[in-house]
A and B are shown apart, each in its own frame.
Chain A
Amino acid sequence: MRFAALFTFLLLAPATAQARPVSWPGGWMLMLMNDLDSNAAQLNYTFTPRYAVGVQHEYFRDEKFNIDAMTFDALLKRWNMPDAQANLWLKSGAGIAYGSGNADPAAYAGLEIDWENRHLFTLYENRIFWADDHEKFVKHKARVGIAPYIGDYGDLHTWLMLQVDYDAGKHDTFSLTPMVRLFKGNTLVEAGYNLDGGILFNFTQQF
């Protein structure tokens, strides 16, 4: 019953992308991502410290169509600093979009660049999506975050973040989402409320 309630919440909640799509060699990662437009679930496997492959299902609520895709995520570049780290990631997938009767090939790709130390976090991400007759869009996202306290390894880490989304085609507007990120062990949860209405909820489990 509790699982059914959680599952229902995840399907109804709206969404955003996760940080760090690649973990450690041999590591699996389950990601549930719910943003303003879609609900997605991805399971991936990291086969080198730089590359992960997986499968993703995503449902676009307004357009009422699904996409099932094979995913490929890569750490293109990492900059290590004494007290900070920056990364350039590629997130991509290709598969089939289906919904109102017809099925089309679909693909997406995006770049994410982030910088963080133990106090501050910044991120910019874009996503180009193409699904023939179903949907085509380019989206942009930026985030800033601050840690209200600094925890040790293994503690519960908390981040207060603000996300800005820009959908050039569909809405041509910016939207703001204040959110909180909780991170402990191999589990990361993000929850927020978009000022235009809608709940943001992301969940990542590494194992």
Chain B
Amino acid sequence: MKKLFLTLAAITFFAVPALADHTGKTHGPLHTITVKVEGMVCDFCARALEKVFYQREGVEGVDINLDEHVVKLDVTEGTVLPDEEITKLITDSGYNVSSITR
């Protein structure tokens, strides 16, 4: 019984932080959408896109790589985020989408 309790405690201890992102949100399984963006050359550009995507429900993580001009979106399972919507959010922010990979 003690062993079971310790095992459960250990799982809880390690699993909960793994499910929490830097905003403190906890979430279920995620899938990643990789978007290649033209014109994203500086932190101000990256910050603007980060703000836009974090406002979208279901987007739990935004990872930006300026060298590769890539925005990786971590989206909760079940969230529908079509290519058209991603493209619109990015073009409305002033940038162009060159590819979207799921």
Q: State the A residues within 8 Å of B (CB).
A: 20, 23-27, 49-50, 75, 78-85, 116-118, 150, 152-154, 157, 183-186, 206
Contact = CB atoms under 8 A, between A and B. Distances in A.
Contacts of A206: 44, 47
B69 A83 contact: yes
A24 B41 contact: no
A192 to B, nearest CB: 20
Contacts, number: 67
Contact of B51 (A27, A80, A81): A27
Contacts of A154: 43
Interface residues of B, number: 24
B100 to A, nearest CB: 16
B42 A24 contact: no
25 contacts: A24-B48, A49-B48, A49-B93, A50-B94, A75-B94, A80-B39, A82-B98, A83-B41, A84-B41, A116-B41, A118-B41, A118-B42, A118-B66, A118-B67, A150-B67, A152-B65, A152-B67, A153-B46, A153-B66, A154-B43, A157-B43, A183-B42, A184-B43, A186-B47, A206-B47
Q: Is the interface of B mostly helix, strand, loop or mixed?
A: mixed
